[in-house]
Chains A and B, each alone.
Chain A
């Protein structure tokens, strides 16, 4: 019985967060009134000509740094010719054989996923399909077109078919998102359409090196859809192949409601895009100066941040990943670490990873509104033994919610533990004085009884100290006296 493996390649389109469109000065804004962000250029009026947005080029070069992509000496724009009402010129100005970047990779949980290319192109307008029951194209009577989005700059990022599972695909997209967010080139919101993902899925016998016929899945509006669609499609293809049928190379659409992919093939012939170099634009030849400027202005990449935290703070990779993934959280943690007196960075990281993050998730707040110095104070208090870890949880909670300094909370509630050894020794002495035979009974008892006696002793000591005895110090004193 042949086992099959799934082979996946992803095409991600990211809308670049520039102020203006790719080839004209119309504002690059989401959600405006229809057809209010248009001009002769993005509407493709007769006689109009494109002029390239320098920021789009800069952003592409930033992505090249983040994804370790090669930047060829010269790249060229090409026309992709086909008729569609949301395309004002009935060709899309894109890049074909000479893209601005190529041959890079992205590390995903230790696996290296190849990135074939990342190239620049303009977005199309948007059509709404009217007159039918579903708003979908198939039962519509007519369509209405809004060209606000036409000409918005896109970066198309194509991965090698190196992905082997739906989950890995999801992780790739998450990592890519994090990188693009970190370098500030796009706000990559799938739900707003500023990031779109298409999946190329094929299957092949495990161990084979040849690629099977692939299907392209479109209309994936969330990571959940991505995972479900890949799983469905892989299963569908496995079924075909096992049944002796072949997979058709085609575009399929993910039907969210029905939980399946549907063939998008219409009776129209396959597209012949007749690519040729765009004569209205001149080549882009990124200079060493341009690339140096990009490197100098780049924020630290998530992968670099993670590595640094693991190395410098001694935390685990998974925890580093969680912290780095939340915008602003690393900055907060770093500020807290900088404000520490005696506590450790690892402690800060642990509190951030657990309690602070839980608070942020619950309230929806940004780390930017929190006081990093208050967290540092809390950690120092624990390190000094002033409060126990358990107590610190409650203090932190109040500190976060009420924006109070931990020291003030401890004082107000009288939480400070007694950690002074001589004071605690006095309490221990008092206990032994009040329980004369205790030590002998303890030494004569078996393990189980010893544990019980120990618990009794701690209980009495805590009572005598109104619960504020530093448990570690007490245990140490007891160990000395009982051994």
Chain B
């Protein structure tokens, strides 16, 4: 649980519900990306060579790295702890 989350007034029932749903979706997304790291289907094969020279396993994990950046962008947009921005403002 986010420590500063508890500082806030209790949200309205509908908002709280959507907040929980969003957290569950984001948690599942992170879990899915974590699971996608174990690409057992690429284990013993080099083909297809992406761009003619990148073995499949290496190309997959290079794409996976970009996927991680996208995941982090989604988290920043959808799950940023906005209470921390208040700490930021108060310290200016």
Q: Do A and B come from one complex?
A: no
B interface residues with partner A (beta carbon < 8 Å)? none
